[in-house]
Amino acid sequence: MVRYTIRRILLIIPTFIGASALIFFAGFALPGDPVSAFGGERALPEATRNALIERYRLDQPVFDQYLGYMGDVLTGDFGESVLRRRSINDIFAETFPNTLRLAALAVVFELVIGLLAGIVAALRKGKFLDSLVLVSTIIAISIPVFVLGFSLQYIVGVQWQILPVAGLQEGFRSLILPAFVLGTLSLAYVARLTRTSLAETLREDYVRTAQAKGLRHSRVIGRHALRNALIPVITFIGIDLGALMGGAIVTETIFNINGVGFNLFRAIGTRDNAIVVGFTLIAVMIYLTMSLIVDLLYAALDPRIRYE
Partner 1 sequence: MAGTVSTIDPRNVHPEPGEPLLDVEDVSVEFHTDAGVVKAVTDLSFNLAAGETLAIIGESGSGKSVTAQAIMGIVPSPPGKIPKGSIRYRDRDLMEVPDKEKRFIRGQEIAMIFQDPLTSLNPVYSVGWQIGEMFRIHRGASRAEAREKAIELMERVRIPEARRRVGDYPHQFSGGMRQRVMIAMALALEPKILIADEPSTALDVTVQAQIMELLDALQQETNMGLILITHDLGVVASVADVVLLMYAGRVVESNEAYPFYEKPAHPYAHGLMNSVAKLSGSEKRLEPIVGSPPSLLRVPSGCAFHPRCPYALDPCWEEIPHLREIDGYSGVVACHFAEEIRG
Q: What are the residues binding partner 1 (CB under 8 A)?
A: 204-206, 208-216, 219, 224, 227-228, 231, 301-304, 307
Question: At closest approach, how far in Å is the CB of 308 from partner 1?
Answer: 9
Q: Decide whether 104 or 305 has the Cβ nearer to partner 1.
A: 305
Neighbours of 65 (CB within 10 A): 17
| Smallest separation (angstroms) from partner 1 to the CB of 2 | 18
What is the sign of the dihedral through the CA atoms of 119, 125, 129 and 130?
positive
Nearest residue (CB) to partner 1, 57 versus 208: 208
Nearer to partner 1, 176 or 231 (CB): 231
Rounded to the nearest whole angstrom, what is the least distance from the CB of residue 288 to partner 1 in the complex? 27
d(CA 149, CA 251): 7
Question: Could you tell me which of 237, 268, 272, 278 has the C-alpha nearest to residue 96?
Answer: 278
Query: Can you give the C-alpha Rg of the chain in angstroms?
Result: 24
Taking the C-alpha atoms of residue 188 and residue 194, their distance in angstroms, rounded to an integer, is 10
- Assess contact for 191 and 133: CB atoms under 8 A: yes
Identity of the residue, 163 or 234, whose beta carbon is nearer to partner 1 in the bound complex? 234
Q: How far apart are CA 152 and CA 177, in angstroms?
A: 7
Q: How far apart are CA 213 and CA 209, in angstroms?
A: 6
User: Least separation, in Å, of the C-beta of 226 and partner 1?
Assistant: 11
CB of 268 to partner 1, least distance (A): 45
Residue placing its CB nearer to partner 1 in the complex, 72 or 302: 302
Report in angstroms how near the CB of residue 1 gets to partner 1 at its nearest. Answer: 14
CB of 231 to partner 1, least distance (A): 8
Q: In degrees, to the nearest 5, what angle opens at C-alpha 269 toward C-alphas 171 and 163?
A: 20
Smaller CB separation from partner 1, 192 or 224: 224
Is the Cβ–Cβ distance between 148 and 184 less than 8 Å?
A: yes
- 277 and 23 Cβ atoms separated by less than 8 Å: yes
Comparison of 111 and 231: residue with beta carbon closer to partner 1? 231
Can you tell me the distance from the alpha carbon of 120 to that of 293, in angstroms, rounded to the nearest whole number? 29
